Amino acid sequence: MLDPQITLFSLEATSKPTINPRPNVLLLKSCNIYVFSSGRIYSDFEDMTFNELNNNNFGYGSLDIEFAFINNATKKEYPDFYTKCFVIRTNKNEVIKPMKLSNKKNYSKINKNGELVIGIRYYFINETQISAITGSNSILIEGFIALEKPQNVFAVMCQLEKRNSKWKITSAYTYKPKYAKNIKNLID
């Protein structure tokens, strides 16, 4: 007869840390657009985190675009970033393709939802561009970003639609291009 106090065998299992099923993935969660920084109070910190697509030589104001990502592409929580080859298209057939002169690294930030935020800023060059953006119902923004180092390149596409005077994402994609080995070598 067995004694109920005796342990016949003991099995201890250790669990391995959960591995993200999608390593190196950059998932676009949201996109915010601000024309003339409407509804925002100026902040030096905010200004440091926007990459300028062109120079402010015109005096017509700016279009600020913020992309919020779930970042599984880098180990750093706050990776520096680079941008290149951005294009802004509207449903009114307006195409804005700035010619970027420099490609300096910029600072990223984390929003209240814990998402990585990357900002780009475009300075309007004339009244026609302003009315094309403010008068459009749909905008498509696409370009390349590199996180942490110029060699970690991703393509980003985001289409937004204006509803009740607010921009909402209708479709958004990220892509890891094999041909783009270094963002500094891409040509605008």
Q: From residue 78, give the alpha-carbon distance in Å to each of 73, 126, 176.
A: 12, 35, 20
Q: Which residues of the chain have pLDDT under 50?
A: 7-11, 13-21
87 vs 98: CA distance, rounded Å: 7
In a domain, 17, yes or no: no
* Category of 95 on φ-ψ map: left (φ > 0), alpha (ψ -120 to 50) or beta: beta
Q: What is the pLDDT of residue 8?
A: 45
What's the sign of the alpha-carbon dihedral 119, 24, 89, 137?
negative
In a domain, 19, yes or no: no
In a domain, 11, yes or no: no
Q: What is the pLDDT of residue 58?
A: 76
**What residue has token string 């009114």?**
92
In a domain, 13, yes or no: no
69 vs 76: CA distance, rounded Å: 13
Q: What is the pLDDT of residue 146?
A: 94
| Paired residues of 147 in beta bridges | 81
Query: Which tokens go with 131?
Result: 């009315």
- 84-132 per-position pLDDT tens digit: 999 999 999 999 998 776 788 999 999 999 999 999 999 999 999 999 9
**What residue has token string 């990459």?**
51
Residue 124: domain span: 26-185
In a domain, 55, yes or no: yes
- 82-93 per-position pLDDT tens digit: 999 999 999 999
Q: What is the pLDDT of residue 188?
A: 73
In a domain, 16, yes or no: no
In a domain, 52, yes or no: yes
- How would you list the strands of the sheet with 166-175, edge to edge? 95-96, 81-90, 138-147, 153-163, 166-175
Q: Which amino acid is at 41?
A: I
Is the Cβ–Cβ distance between 152 and 83 less than 8 Å? no
| Paired residues of 176 in beta bridges | none
117 vs 107: CA distance, rounded Å: 9
In a domain, 31, yes or no: yes
State how many domains the chain has.
1
Q: What is the pLDDT of residue 3?
A: 54
